[in-house]
Structure 1
Amino acid sequence: ASGAGKSSLFNILAGRAKSRGRIKIDAQISLGGATVDPNSNLGVRNLFAYVAQEDSLHETSTVRESLTFSAKLRLPKQTSDADIKELVDTYLHELGLDKAADTVIGGGLKKGISGGEKRRTSIGVELVSQPRFIFLDEPTSGLDAFAARQILSLLGKLAKAGNTVLFTIHQPASDAFGAFDHLILLHEGRKMYDGGTDTLPDDFAAKGFPVPRNYNPADWLLDVAQMNPIDDLEQKGFFPEDDGCFDGGAEKLVLPKRDHVSLWREFAMLMVREKISMVRNPMVLIITCCLTAFLSVVYGVIFYNIGNNDRTNPLVLQAQLGALVNILISTMMGQSQSALSIFSRERPMFLREYSTSHYSIVT
């Protein structure tokens, strides 16, 4: 249900949430003896894929370039370019992005792919790293029924291949609901139901809420949760006590180690991406050059022939100093303004890429 704490729970499980202000997280999550901490344990973080609700992609990159960029930085450094290309092509096909593969993503004033294609690209950027643990926060939002089935089919294949796949979904279609193996229903931050989807109708019927005929089970769950007081649901047997942790499964888990690429390769990949961005968006560079030329002419006219005046005159020295200060300030402000505009636009993308170990802060 909406506001139940699905995204907050996912952020905690993926090690992306921190205690701050009045919110304190009292939890320790371990996988194979390794603590999930995105700030200190890069080896574990590199095995996670996290798809947030909001798409944060590089606007001037194509779909294929976005997946390739993620694969080259997150896969083991010994992975060849041919293997990366084959892997990227596979996921482009699985996600139904073949036709949009070489289209610029776009955003803001630059037209690009559709919203549904952006959503699938966000998923592909994470899946191409071949993670062991896949977290997706409402991955089917904004997708049509066919695209949603494609995503669920792909996630089902990954789960059957031995990967751990967890994702939240709000009011799924009946066919999408049937694709789930296990369901956790959250209501107001508490676990209302935890069990298999095949046994859910019988469990709800035993508690006095049988699923009506020809009714979407997912819609029925939301109706039961939102139309009945929590006290009544507790008396019916919902909100079972949880055990808090599952140490038995974690002890048997073996986390593979990945050799991360070098800082030089990270730097080179980022430089190439920014170069391509400048080539595809030349208007920013043109405006910067024109503004610099205009200011140069203005300062040249204002302070023309100032060096030939009497240098012993304090007013002349003051004018020379003023010219120097104005040139320095205009240069600094001109560079900072362009950087600030880029910073605000690319900050969400940087946070996503850094949190999933694309590159280090140093790079």
Structure 2
Amino acid sequence: MRDTPNSAELLAWYDKNAREMPWRVAPDASMNGERADPYFVWLSEVMLQQTTVAAVREYFIKFTTLWPTVSDLANADDADVMAAWAGLGYYARARNLLKCARVVVDERDGIFPSTRAELEKLPGIGPYTSAAIAAIAFGQSEVVVDGNVERVMARLFAHEVPMPESKPTLRDFAAKLTPKERAGDYAQAVMDLGATLCSPRNPSCEICPWRANCIGYAKGIAAELPKKSPKKPKPIRYGTVFLAQRDDGAWLLEKRPDRGLLGGMMGWPGNNWAEDPNPASPPIDAHWTPLNGEVRHTFTHFHLRLSVQIAQTDATSTPERGVFVDQKSFSANDLPTVMRKAFELVQGRLNQN
């Protein structure tokens, strides 16, 4: 019978191999009592939801440079925060970021609560994020389970029930291994193990600190785990966007509704996105030219196909919806990715002409 894995083996590996992150405290500092800034942990965990570490680093540094404290973020203009978030995706996270920061400042004097239960009362903080903050920033012995941890547990215990049905059992496995001491370091150690050695494809089992205790490795099935239920095919939705530029270089933009995809973000006027969309109604009276080609983008639950129409207008034209943003204030980098794709398509066509 194989020995049960223990946290000490993994922590010894983590002490030597911990990834350096701008929001982390190094293991040696952590063992000397230094804690990560809860604002940094919260911000990074929100950004990391469904986003890679590589993509988040730049955004995290940008946010903490612009808004070094939760009070700074709470006092920021919504439009500035949404623009800084542009390109990171899942824009509801940015809206909840502002809501949460303002609750922490207005109702808690800028101090994050230290327990999972109190953290979950804050806007946009669910079970995973609350456990991560409580463990990493406050040293609470909480069970932190993300996709990396689930993969490690499935392989460690050779659990072959497919995802997502296996999630509760994998969390139970993780709970049994979570130590009372150094819980924050342990949480980060398991995530690092999953992100580096116990990777989705071609895991580096030969140098894994838990190899001797890994049932999946012993059975030769580690790389096959976790198993996943077949995914349903994503539907395709269609829509149209209208890009109008005035003679002085200003672009016509429209703020999207606060609720829904890209909520609160500035983008090109258009119609609804649906498998059978409504007819497209231009936002301003002009001579509109449809472009050859389309914008393609994939969201979590559907693929999007956008047709693009362009028009040139003069200063006397008044839009029925949206506002013109002058050329000096306009930045394509402040747009959501799908809107930026439409702009790049237009620029490419104009350059060809």
TM-score norm. by structure 1 comes to 0.30
Higher relative contact order (CA 8 A, sep 6+): 1
Q: Which has the higher helix share?
A: 1
TM-score norm. by structure 2 comes to 0.31
